[in-house]
Amino acid sequence: MYTEKVMDHFKNPRNMGEIEDASGVGTVGNAKCGDIMRVFLKIEGDVIEDVKFKTFGCGAAVATSSMATELVKGKTIKEAMLVTNKAVMEALDGLPPVKVHCSLLAEEAIHAALWDYAKKNGIVIDGLEEPKEDIGEEEIPEEE
Ligand code: FES
């Protein structure tokens, strides 16, 4: 049911963790399943130097976040804005239709983190909309 790439990113997630002195942090919830995703960005100039994520989400959420963080790392903010959940799914060779909503978490959390960065620095990022809800400091339970 899952592609090899999805299984690889699920079993060996890239960029999982936290960034202590992040430039922007975004936390979003998935309206469909209630799962949570938090993304930390370290931005220098307008380049995303580092990115990490933490999630209380399913395997597809882990795999899509892992791939999404790989796709935005080292990119400019403008390039990162082009990393949609569709682009992430394509990079993973697809997701089962019932899991498409999981891939939205990564895109939305990256956007929420960019929003946080823009707000803190008084800048406007073209095409970036205010996150529907940033659930802020809510604790993300540690995965077992
Ligand atoms: Fe919740 Fe996949 S089922 S993120």
Distance of CA 58 from the midpoint of ligand 1 (Å): 5
- For residues 64 and 110, the answer to whether their CB atoms sit within 8 Å is no
pTM for this entry: 0.91
Residues of the chain predicted below pLDDT 50: 144
Ordered strands of the 36-44 beta sheet: 24-29, 36-44, 47-56
Assess whether 102 carries a catalytic annotation.
yes
What is the pLDDT at residue 32? Answer: 82
Between the alpha carbon of residue 116 and those of residues 72, 75, 126, 131, the distances in Å are 16, 18, 14, 9
Which one from 102, 106, 109, 112 is the annotated catalytic residue? 102
4-120: which CATH architecture?
A: Alpha-Beta Complex (3.90)
The three-state secondary structure class of 46 is coil
| Domain spans, the chain | 4-120
Q: Encode pLDDT of 116-138 as tens digits.
A: 999 999 999 999 998 876 666 66
Q: Is 58 a catalytic residue?
A: no
Instruction: Please give the distance, rounded to the nearest whole angstrom, from the Cα atom of residue 123 to the centre of ligand 1.
Output: 32
